């Protein structure tokens, strides 16, 4: 069965349109629910967050701070991450 | 308390020196764990050969990137890694620490010490996978590496920067040949690296013991990935050894690297490739098995003066089955290297040790590197041996031989006898030259075969006692002139008449 060129082009256009509207998916992990003030300061530092689709996750293990996940990229701004790094440094010094 | 204060101070200092910058890290999640190989999702921006660190602190090495996932080999224990473990990209390719402190040490493929001593202190890191020096940086092989083995130095000479394959069945003395070469570098200012791939730990231990006994460990580095180590470690060991070698080469040193052996290295890579589901080719090896060895051996080279003038000589070892030289891996490596030393079981059992098959062994570039002294005596030797082989084949059928043929046969057997050598007893240049001179000039023709060895020891003893100046002269000038020959003739006739 052959699909007519017209339908193909239209379908492509439609899918492109959908993709354009799709926002970047970002997961924001924090130790507790962030209030609007905290969110506002985050937006100020990372303007890119405003235009993306945010997914909030609560994880008490972080102790404080946030972890931002964009695709496979991870920005660790949590206290736990810093403590982990400190532990690694201490381990390396002998 | 004082100790803790000191410790805290160190940490504080370290933390201040570290740049506290926030940066995005690539993260992935383990979805599959197979024998030593881990398949991960995520890690979108990772590149080939990059290192990743798992939650459990193991290091992984990316060797496969597909559309939706990434394959990595685990360097170390992979059993503690489970699915859903996180891994982060470290952002650099695999490198190992290199420094002068490596000399005399035993390390694994990652540069971690295995001899129970301190961690190797190093400021520099060398990439394990590195593109070999190009044409501009190289010069032809011109100076010899003395193996201390008469048969090799005379007939199959090896030059600094050459790649000479040692090939033969199991138990034919391949490793012994290589180790003897290390032993002979005592006063040659050559740094030796012995890289054991998939060897028994007991064998490596006895080699280290031997190196210690002969006091040569101080200029030797042993890189080992034994048969109990993971395939990944075995796969990486030769490249690590080459990286260590390159460090010393870049410093202008001459380096000798022994890869023992590359058949097992090919097995390790085949294992990894099959687990990664790469298409299997001949003998189930993957398609890039040739490149695996060619890129390793291409790193052997002699640099020109502008780049320090160092060299890296490679002596890869290949184990054949039933003397089959036309198997896949042996043919590959033969075509890559600048010649091969072929060891035969039959010769070994006949008592001809080192069991070198002189007819099938060649050195494609070493001839230019031979010293004048050896060259002057070995030319005739080669011719005599070739004629002997031809006639020996003929004389099997004929009972009546003319005098001329008999003479050739006699000379041939004496030369074969004189090329025998006990293991772990490398000869100095002068010893080699003098013994071969006596044989190729026909002084041994009158001796019966079983007396040849006796004569050799006597001659060398006598020379060491009375002819010290002659030997020193040859070792220093590396030539054998008319006057030396006259003097030598006296020694030989004296020994013969005793």
Query: What Cα–Cα distance (Å) separates residue B332 from each residue in B156, B262, B327?
Result: 20, 11, 9
Contacts of A71 in chain B (CB under 8 A): 42, 44
pLDDT of B326 above 80 = yes
The DSSP H or E segment spanning B235 is: helix B231-250
Q: Which residue of A has its CA nearest to B44?
A: A72
Residue of A nearest to B57 (CA): A88
- The predicted complex's ipTM stands at 0.73
Q: What would the DSSP string read from start to end of B73-99? A: EEES--TT--TT-EEEEEEEE-EEEE-
Model-level pTM greater than 0.80? yes
Alpha-carbon gap, residue B259 to B297, rounded angstroms? 10
Average pLDDT over residues B448-473: 89
- Tens of pLDDT, residue by residue over B54-94, are 998 899 999 999 999 999 999 988 899 999 999 999 988 99
Q: pLDDT category, B159, cuts 50, 70, 90?
A: very high
Q: Where are the domains of chain B?
A: 23-93, 97-370, 373-497
Would you state the torsion angle of the CA atoms of residues B187, B190, B196, B197, taken in this order, to the nearest 10 degrees? -160
Segment B376-382 shows an average pLDDT of 89
pLDDT tens-digit profile of B123-150? 999 999 999 999 999 999 999 999 999 9
Residue A21 C-alpha, separation from nearest chain B C-alpha, in angstroms: 23
- Which one-letter DSSP state was computed for residue B56? T
pLDDT in tens, B242-264: 999 999 999 999 999 999 999 99
Domains B23-93 and B97-370 share a fold: no
- Mean pLDDT of the region B37-64: 92
For residue B182, the surrounding DSSP H or E stretch is helix B174-183
Q: Does A80 touch chain B (CB under 8 A)?
A: no
- Of the candidates B88, B138, B278, B364, the residue annotated as catalytic is B364
- The pairs formed by A49-56 with CB atoms below 8 angstroms and a separation of 24 or more are A51/A23, A51/A24, A52/A23, A52/A24, A52/A25, A52/A26, A53/A23, A53/A24, A53/A25, A53/A26, A54/A26, A54/A27, A54/A28, A55/A25, A55/A26, A55/A27, A55/A28, A56/A28, A56/A30
Q: Cα separations (Å) of B289 from B106, B295, B383, B420? A: 28, 10, 38, 36
Rounded to the nearest angstrom, the gap between the alpha carbon of residue B481 and the centroid of all alpha carbons in its chain is 34
**Tens digits of per-residue pLDDT, A31-63?**
988 888 988 888 888 888 887 888 899 999 888
% of chain A beyond a pLDDT of 90: 11
- Residue B189: its pLDDT value, please? 92
Banded pLDDT at B108 (limits 50, 70, 90)? very high
Tokens encoding B430: 């002068």
Domain B97-370 listed as CATH 3.40.50.300? yes
Q: Do B45 and A76 touch (CB under 8 A)?
A: no
Q: Do the Cβ atoms of B7 and A93 come within 8 Å? A: yes
Domain boundaries, chain A: 24-92
Q: Are B96 and B125 in contact (CB under 8 A)?
A: yes
Q: Is A72 on the interface with B (CB under 8 A)?
A: yes
The CATH fold of domain B373-497: 1.20.150
The dotted CATH code for B23-93 is 2.40.30.20
């Amino acid at each position: 069965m052959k699909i007519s060129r017209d339908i193909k082009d239209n379908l492509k256009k439609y899918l492109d349109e959908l993709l354009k509207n799709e926002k970047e998916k970002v997961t924001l992990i924090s130790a507790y629910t962030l209030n609007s003030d905290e969110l506002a300061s985050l937006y100020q530092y990372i303007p890119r967050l405003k235009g993306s689709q945010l997914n909030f996750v609560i994880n008490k293990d972080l102790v404080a701070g946030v972890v931002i996940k964009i695709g496979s990229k991870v920005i660790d701004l949590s206290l736990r991450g810093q403590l982990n790094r400190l532990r690694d440094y201490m381990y390396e010094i002998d | 308390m004082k100790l803790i204060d000191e410790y805290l101070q160190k940490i504080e200092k370290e933390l201040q020196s570290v740049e506290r910058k926030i940066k995005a890290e690539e993260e992935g999640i383990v979805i599959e764990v197979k024998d030593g190989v881990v398949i991960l999702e995520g890690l979108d921006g990772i590149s080939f050969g990059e290192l990743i660190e798992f939650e459990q602190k193991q290091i992984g090495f990316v060797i496969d990137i597909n559309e939706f996932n990434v394959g990595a080999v685990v360097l170390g224990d992979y059993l503690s890694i489970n699915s859903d473990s996180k891994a982060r990209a470290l952002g650099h390719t695999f490198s190992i620490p290199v420094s002068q402190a490596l000399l005399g040490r035993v390390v694994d493929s990652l540069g971690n010490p295995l001899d129970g001593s301190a961690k190797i202190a190093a400021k520099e890191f060398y990439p394990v996978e590195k593109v070999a020096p190009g044409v501009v940086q190289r010069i032809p092989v011109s100076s010899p590496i003395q193996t201390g083995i008469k048969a090799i130095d005379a007939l199959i000479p090896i030059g600094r920067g050459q790649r000479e394959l040692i090939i033969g069945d199991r138990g034919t003395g391949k490793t012994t040949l290589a180790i003897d070469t290390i032993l002979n570098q005592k006063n040659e200012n050559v740094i030796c690296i012995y890289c054991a791939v998939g060897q028994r730990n007991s064998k490596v231990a006895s080699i280290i013991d031997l190196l210690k006994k002969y006091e040569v460990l101080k200029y030797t580095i042993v890189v080992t990935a034994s048969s109990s180590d993971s395939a990944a470690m075995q796969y990486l060991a030769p490249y690590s050894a080459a990286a260590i070698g390159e460090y010393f080469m870049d410093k202008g040193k001459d380096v000798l690297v022994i890869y023992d052996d590359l058949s097992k290295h090919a097995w390790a890579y085949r294992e990894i490739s099959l687990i990664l589901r790469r298409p299997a080719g001949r003998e189930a090896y993957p398609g890039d098995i040739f490149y695996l060895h060619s890129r390793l051996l291409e790193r052997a080279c002699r640099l020109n003066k502008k780049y320090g003038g160092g060299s890296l000589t490679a002596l890869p070892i290949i184990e054949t089955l039933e003397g089959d030289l036309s198997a896949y891996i042996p043919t590959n490596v033969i075509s890559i290297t600048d010649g091969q030393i072929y060891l035969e079981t039959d010769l070994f059992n006949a008592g001809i040790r080192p069991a070198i098959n002189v007819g099938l062994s060649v050195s494609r570039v070493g001839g230019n590197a031979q010293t004048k002294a050896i060259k002057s005596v070995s030319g005739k030797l080669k011719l005599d041996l070739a004629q002997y082989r031809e006639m020996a084949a003929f004389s099997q059928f004929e009972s009546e031989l003319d005098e001329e043929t008999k003479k050739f046969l006699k000379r041939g057997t004496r030369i074969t006898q004189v090329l025998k050598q006990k293991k772990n007893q490398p000869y100095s240049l002068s010893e080699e030259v003098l013994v071969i001179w006596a044989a190729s000039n026909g002084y041994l023709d009158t001796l019966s075969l079983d007396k040849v060895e006796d004569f050799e020891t006597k001659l060398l003893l006598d020379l060491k006692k009375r002819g010290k100046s002659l030997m020193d002269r040859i070792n220093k000038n590396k030539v054998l002139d008319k006057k030396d020959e006259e003097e030598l003739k006296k020694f030989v006739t004296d020994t013969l008449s005793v």
